[in-house]
Amino acid sequence: MTPSDHDYPDDPVPDYDGDQFDLDARLSLTRVPGMSTDLSDITEVEYRQLRLERVVLISVWTEGTASDAENAMTELKLLAETAGSQVLDALIQRRPTPDPATYIGSGKVKELREVVVATGADTVICDGELDAAQLRNLEDRVGVKVVDRTILILDIFAQHARSVEGRTQVELAQLQYMKQRLRGWGTSLSRQTGGRAAGGVGIGGRGPGETKIETDRRRINTRISRLRRKLRAMEGTRAEKRADRTRNRIPSVSIVGYTNAGKSSLLNRMTRAGVLVEDALFATLDPTTRRATTDDGRVYTLTDTVGFVRHLPHHLVEAFASTLEETARADLLVHVVDAADADPQGQVNAVRQVLTGIGAGEIDEILVLNKADLMDPGTEITLRTAFPGAFIVSAHTGQGVEELVAEIERRLPVPTELVDAVVPYERGDLMDRIHRLGTITSIEHTATGTHVVAHLHPGLAAEVRSVDGGARD
């Protein structure tokens, strides 16, 4: 049930994004060098901790319109700024496919080098996932550090992860990415040997030995195995909570959508959850579940999930599998779209692609166009035409939220079994569960107990019938 303005008379109504319990803490934090999820004892790897300052962006436009390419570059700029960098310039190259050696063609590499020198940039960010050879070749020719979109997103996740589970998931994704890009320099490629016998090789040292890269890969694999075991243990705790909700047949609603579309603001507006709200990509990573109650007393849960983005790195999808599973098990999806974005249709397509990939593509969905307070009348007409049936709301001002909540309550799953029984007065606990978990058709107090007619789930229905006191006059 949406809290109305008169429920909280002291709140500043026009400017409301929910209680900001975490925002002050985030703004007061300073990143400490060396305090990251990188393995400190693995140095000869292609993945390095990002210290982005002055960057140039580069993108290969392979399909779609020029507007699509510009929107993709705008998003890359937002990602770079979220990671803490200053964007100096951006280049886009039209090619059927990225160059297998340097991502961009040789002519564009020279142009990129000139831009880097002219602007004094220290980093180049590519809007794609590059392999180790592409990163190395581009670095050698441009003369500054080169990172790709995947590293950039992983760095943002590493900054914003707060819970133990979130940090573990991010580290796992980093190591999976790192393992494929191990790279050695000089003596790092030499074999490990020891002893004085037989020319200094020694007993047990003769033969092929093991290179430094092989050692690093083995240590990374060991760390990945430990992280996966840790996540499985955490999933056990999550599964117990989920089993409790399943046993009681509590409907679940997941709020999904593009990053920075306003999912956390909407959850705060609907439940006063106190989730961090910030105008930044991937501001919140850890799922937050809150209980809500319908107008007729039924209980359901609302879960705010991690935001999606175009070309979400598959390492992240795999690492966040347990978190995304909450979405795949939901009874209803509230799909939030940033109505003020230049390409809302692109957001919808990207989110639905991820939902399909995690097995949530067939779940009932309510499409919500958020940030109505930032729309002009012409944009609203265009969006209503493009997305018929969508709810236009503003989580910031509360516009349209009550209508959205009413639609959520209407589309919640209804218990299947109709029960007509008299519940003894001493079983107040059972009546409480009927109110919370069922849909009551009628209720009447009699001499022997409470006569109730309600739709209940099979387990609760059987329990109610077992205490039926009769005498239904």
Q: Per the annotation, does 259 bind a ligand?
A: yes
**Cα(61)–Cα(97) distance, rounded to whole angstroms?**
8
261 CB-side CA count, 13 A = 34
**Cα(89)–Cα(68) distance, rounded to whole angstroms?**
18
Q: Per the annotation, does 284 bind a ligand?
A: yes
Q: Per the annotation, does 286 bind a ligand?
A: yes
Q: Per the annotation, does 396 bind a ligand?
A: yes
Provide, for the chain, the percentages of residues in helix, strand and coil under a 3-state DSSP scheme, each rounded to the nearest 5: 45, 20, 40
**Cα(219)–Cα(302) distance, rounded to whole angstroms?**
40
The CA dihedral of 432, 435, 441, 447, to the nearest 10 degrees, is 20
Q: Per the annotation, does 263 bind a ligand?
A: yes
- For residue 58, which of 94, 83, 86 has the smallest C-alpha distance? 94
Q: Per the annotation, does 264 bind a ligand?
A: yes
AA letter at 279: D
Of all helices (H) and strands (E), which one includes residue 73?
A: helix 66-82
CA dist list (Å): 152 to 49, 127, 336: 10, 10, 24
Q: Per the annotation, does 37 bind a ligand?
A: no
Q: Please answer whether residues 39 and 220 qualify as being in contact, where contact means their C-beta atoms are separated by less than 8 angstroms.
A: yes
**Cα(354)–Cα(154) distance, rounded to whole angstroms?**
17
**Cα(156)–Cα(80) distance, rounded to whole angstroms?**
9
Q: Per the annotation, does 304 bind a ligand?
A: yes
Q: Per the annotation, does 305 bind a ligand?
A: yes
Q: Per the annotation, does 322 bind a ligand?
A: no
Going across the sheet that includes 54-61, the strands are 86-94, 54-61, 123-126, 145-148
Produce one character per residue of 413-443: b if its CB has 16 or more CB atoms within 10 Å, e if not. Answer: eebebebebbbeeebeebbebbbbbbbbeee
Q: Please answer whether residues 324 and 294 qualify as being in contact, where contact means their C-beta atoms are separated by less than 8 angstroms.
A: no
Q: Per the annotation, does 370 bind a ligand?
A: yes
Q: Per the annotation, does 212 bind a ligand?
A: no
Q: Per the annotation, does 90 bind a ligand?
A: no
Q: Per the annotation, does 168 bind a ligand?
A: no
Going across the sheet that includes 252-257, the strands are 288-293, 299-304, 252-257, 332-338, 365-370, 391-392
Q: Per the annotation, does 468 bind a ligand?
A: no
Of all helices (H) and strands (E), which one includes residue 293?
A: strand 288-293
Q: Per the annotation, does 108 bind a ligand?
A: no
Q: Please answer whether residues 161 and 209 qualify as being in contact, where contact means their C-beta atoms are separated by less than 8 angstroms.
A: no
Q: Per the annotation, does 306 bind a ligand?
A: yes
Q: Per the annotation, does 372 bind a ligand?
A: yes
Q: Per the annotation, does 406 bind a ligand?
A: no
Produce one character per residue of 251-275: b if its CB has 16 or more CB atoms within 10 Å, e if not. Answer: bbbbbbbbbbbbbbbbbbbbbbbbb
Q: Per the annotation, does 285 bind a ligand?
A: yes
Cite the annotated binding site by residue number.
Answer: 257-264, 282-286, 304-307, 370-373, 394-396
Cite the annotated binding site for Mg(2+) by residue number.
Answer: 264, 284
Cite the annotated binding site for GTP by residue number.
Answer: 257-264, 282-286, 304-307, 370-373, 394-396
